[in-house]
Amino acid sequence: MVANKYAPGYFCTPSFSRMNILVLSRSGKLFSTRRIVEAGRARGHDISVVDHVQCDLVIARKDPHVMYKGQRLEDVDAIIPRIGASVTFYGAAVVRQFEAMKVFTTVESQSLVRSRDKLRSLQILSKAGVDMPRTVFTNYSKDVAMAVEHVGGAPCIIKLLEGTQGLGVVLAESKKAAVAVVEAFNTLKARVIVQEFIKEAKGEDIRAFVVDGTIVGAMRRRGKEGEFRSNLHRGGKAELIDLSPEEQEMAVHAARALGLRVAGVDMIQSSRGPLVLEVNASPGLEGIEQATGRDIAGEIIAYVERNVAAG
């Protein structure tokens, strides 16, 4: 079982001093945000939710600080960013401000920005030696057919660079369909990548949850009937999985390559071994906690405790 195989347990007897922790999130009602708050309070910490888009940043040489709803945020020991993709720019700016104030963060601003840029993140992973489906990106090229050929022809996957949760992802069954889809996106000036389709994955992928360089849980996700995307937000189902040593190593290596200490690494199994699809800087907790039975939120709090205590 994953609960026994991955990561030591940190939750027997809390022995850390009370901390003031802020969760940067649009809403305290979101499952992942709520679970982190519950886990922090269960371990005796003061933990509250701050909507990062309502923060004002006072940038100064001697006294940089953050204002929230007219009040200065003071005596903050750590922040746990839960930054949505649609507000990455401002969310990263808020995290940078806390970094300037020397506040510990579970996700560094630069790593957040890197991971949200699909093209940049794939280039970084490629440079780090992480295997992935063959991918092509062009500058609105008129020779779309050549891009399709470079990924092994049809069927192939076409992804919007800004897409999340499976949105903006198209499976083109034929070369003609692939060319038509890419040309349509090009006409709209919407940037896309064309990616190799891994048939043997059969609409399944793996999410490995990495905290502080250790896998703390893993699940297999299956797309609903007739759906090639396995995202839980699109009706996919999740189940517990034991990762192979190769999958474990790849997940940890991918998160490290992007500088993410808390990450969800999405992989698929192929005939040539595991392939990384994406590394998520704000992975959801609901699916992984339900599939594994693990207190993943507690693992994140334990990570904060170890690092704040270390100074």
Q: CATH number of the domain that 106 lies in?
A: 3.40.50.20
Residue 279: what pLDDT?
96
DSSP, residue by residue, 8-19: ----SS--S---
| Residue 91 belongs to some domain of the structure | yes
> Are 20 and 109 in the same domain?
yes
Structure confidence at residue 2 (pLDDT): 37
**Residue 110 and residue 14 share a domain:** yes
Provide the pLDDT for residue 141. 86
67 occurs within a structural domain: yes
Q: Which residues pair with 20 in a beta bridge?
A: 46
Strand partners, 104: 78
Is 309 inside any structural domain? no
Contact 38, 249 (CB under 8 A): no
Instruction: Please tell me whether residues 180 and 222 are part of one structural domain.
Output: no
Cis status of the peptide bond prior to 283, with omega within 30 of 0: no
Please report the pLDDT score of residue 293 as a whole number.
95
Each of the 311 residues of the chain gets a pLDDT tens digit; together they read 333 455 544 444 455 689 999 999 999 999 999 999 999 999 999 999 999 999 999 999 899 999 999 999 999 999 999 999 999 999 999 999 999 999 999 999 999 999 999 899 999 999 999 999 999 998 888 889 999 999 999 999 999 887 555 578 899 999 999 999 999 999 999 889 999 999 999 889 999 999 999 999 999 998 766 555 555 555 578 899 999 999 999 999 999 999 999 999 999 999 999 999 999 999 999 999 999 999 999 999 999 999 997 76
- CB of 11 closer than 8 Å to CB of 302: yes
In the block, residue with structure tokens 């701050």:
50
Give the range of the structural domain holding residue 153, as residue numbers without chain letter: 135-197
pLDDT at 231: 56
At 176, give phi and psi (nearest 5°): -60, -45
Question: Are 41 and 64 part of one and the same domain?
Answer: yes
**Position 83, amino acid:** I
- The CATH number of the domain holding residue 139 is 3.30.1490.20
Are residues 216 and 192 both part of a single domain? no
Residues 213 and 189 in one domain: no
Together in a domain, 154 and 210: no
Please give the Cα distance from 305 to 17 (Å, whole number).
8
* pLDDT in the model for residue 235: 55
Residue 228 falls inside a structural domain: yes
CA 304-307-311 angle, to 5 degrees, is 130
The CATH number of whichever domain residue 214 belongs to comes to: 3.30.470.20
Q: Which residues contact 149 (CB under 8 A, 6 or more apart)?
A: none
Alpha helices in 227-295 (DSSP H): 245-257, 286-292
Which of 57, 53, 102 is closest to 79 using CA atoms? 102
Task: Give the pLDDT score at 155.
Answer: 95
DSSP state of 52: G
Inter-helix orientation angle 118-127/109-116, to 10°: 100
In a domain, 70, yes or no: yes
The amino acid that residue 240 corresponds to is: L
The alpha helices in the chain, defined as continuous H runs, are 2-5, 31-42, 88-100, 109-116, 118-127, 144-150, 175-187, 245-257, 286-292, 296-309
User: Closest Cα partner for 254 from 159, 125, 90?
Assistant: 125
Burial class (CB in 10 A: 0-12, 13-18, 19+), 172: buried
What is the number of domains present in the chain?
3
Q: Are residues 209 and 224 in the same domain?
A: yes
Same domain? 176 vs 222: no
In 3D space, the residue among 102, 110, 61 whose CA is nearest the CA of residue 78 turns out to be 102
Whether 78 maps to a domain, the answer reads: yes
Using a 10 angstrom Cβ sphere, with 0-12 exposed, 13-18 middle and 19 or more buried, the burial of residue 253 is middle
According to the model, what pLDDT value does residue 238 have? 87
* Same-domain pairing of 76 and 159: no
Q: Provide the 8-state DSSP code for 283.
A: -
Pair (51, 33) in one structural domain: yes
Domain annotation covers residue 159? yes
The C-alpha atoms of residue 176 and residue 159 are separated, in whole angstroms, by 17
